[in-house]
Amino acid sequence: MADKGVHGTWRLLVVLAALMASIAAMATTATAEASSNRTVVEEVTGWLRIYSDGTVERLTPPGAEPFTADVPPYDEPRGGVTVHDIATGRGVDVRLYLPEGPAAPSSPSRRRPVLVHFHGGGFCVSRPSWALYHNFYAPLAAKLHVAGIVSVYLPLAPEHRLPAAIDAGHAALLWLRDVACGNNIYGASAKSPAAVRRLRATADFSRVFVIGDSSGGNLVHLVAARAGEDSPGVLHPVRLAGGVLLHPGFAREKKSRSELENPPSMFLTPEMIDKLLALGLPQGATKDSRYTSPELAAKAVAAVPMPPLLLMAAEKDLLRDPQVDYGKAMVRAGKTVQTVVSEGNVSHIFYLNFFAVKSDELTKKRTTELVHTIKKFISRH
């Protein structure tokens, strides 16, 4: 009797397993058929594909794999810096670069500034955890003697067009306010409470600087403007002391001379400028809008309080001319802007190309100068 029961149960399990396998096979076939039926409706060569079913596929161009490799966070110092991923509870996650040093300053005057970083990628690709950013910003945290660098995991377009990234940047500032006030210290995750406590103990929240690469440079302008439009006291005790725009993605519908004459690179091509911005801007907006036009960006903040800005450009950058034009337009609007152009055969975000920084003397020299310029700007404000 017992043997018959065991055999009966076994037969039932076999039948169920066969049924499940059949269902799985049918599902796989259906998925394959759906995949084969969809078509590519938009593509940014090497970086992004959008399919007819709405699926977005992010790619890595051949040769870019070392730059797009994810660097996990770590608690043991490397080069005097630890790295922590934090869920802030403000609807945005951040990566915190935390330099070693005294756990708490001996006096308030020894507290150090904080940087809030916005990554590039034309609002559509990249993450703060990419080696592209880690290999520059981790050592930068130590070189600048800051309390920390807070790099924001930005929502990406086309799923999340602007102003989503602006909202995320502002949310990161609100989280810093929470930390400064002792609220929401751990955010939605308690994975790195000691790191956040350390940031609070060492930071001078009246000296917060926003910094961004490429389209992240646009966000420096846009997030600073958003903060300037806030009611008085919204961010207190956080104060924006300055902004650093590194090769920002300003452009117009009409091509500039630098776009027509300068060579493309792995990190910026005419196709990327046109297509990524078209996908990242609000529906219906063009490059001739306040998000990317140098003149319209400046006009939009004419009556808005803005912090002092450092604008860094590169001689061979496709977007050099509109970048420099942005600086001039902002000065005409009454804003404080220091513009520095890295001279010679250096192009868009050259300082993030860690291979070139090591192997090419000019790139290494210009990167050292760029870091020194940022350091001097922070020390003055």
Of 22-26, 105-109, 117-121, 198-202, minimum mean pLDDT range: 22-26
Binning pLDDT at 50, 70 and 90, where does residue 28 land?
very low
Distance CA 84, CA 73 (A): 5
Buried b (16+ CB within 10 A) or exposed e, 192-210: beebbbbbbebbbbbbbbb
Distance CA 350, CA 239 (A): 30
Q: For residue 6, is pLDDT > 90?
A: no
Q: What integer pLDDT is reported at residue 200 of this predicted model?
A: 94
Q: For residue 148, is pLDDT > 50?
A: yes
Q: pTM here?
A: 0.89
The owner of tokens 């912090």 is 307
Report the interhelical angle of 131-143 vs 361-380 (nearest 10°): 50
Q: For residue 107, is pLDDT > 80?
A: no
pLDDT digits (tens, 9 = 90+) for 356-377: 999 999 999 999 999 999 999 9
**Residue 306 backbone zone (phi > 0: left; psi -120 to 50: alpha; other: beta):** beta
Distance CA 193, CA 361 (A): 41
In this structure, the number of other CB atoms found within 10 A of the CB of residue 121 comes to 26
Q: What integer pLDDT is reported at residue 36 of this predicted model?
A: 63
For the chain, state the CA radius of gyration: 24
Contacts of 289 (CB under 8 A, 6+ apart): 281, 282, 296
Output the 3-class SS for 273-328.
HHHHHHHHCCCCCCCCCCCCCHHHHHHHCCCCCCCCEEEEEECCCCCHHHHHHHHH
Q: Kindly provide the residue ranges of all beta strands, DSSP E only, lying in 73-147, ordered along the sequence.
A: 74-78, 81-87, 93-99, 112-118
| Phi/psi of residue 182, nearest 5 degrees | 85, 10
Strands 148-152 and 203-213: unpaired
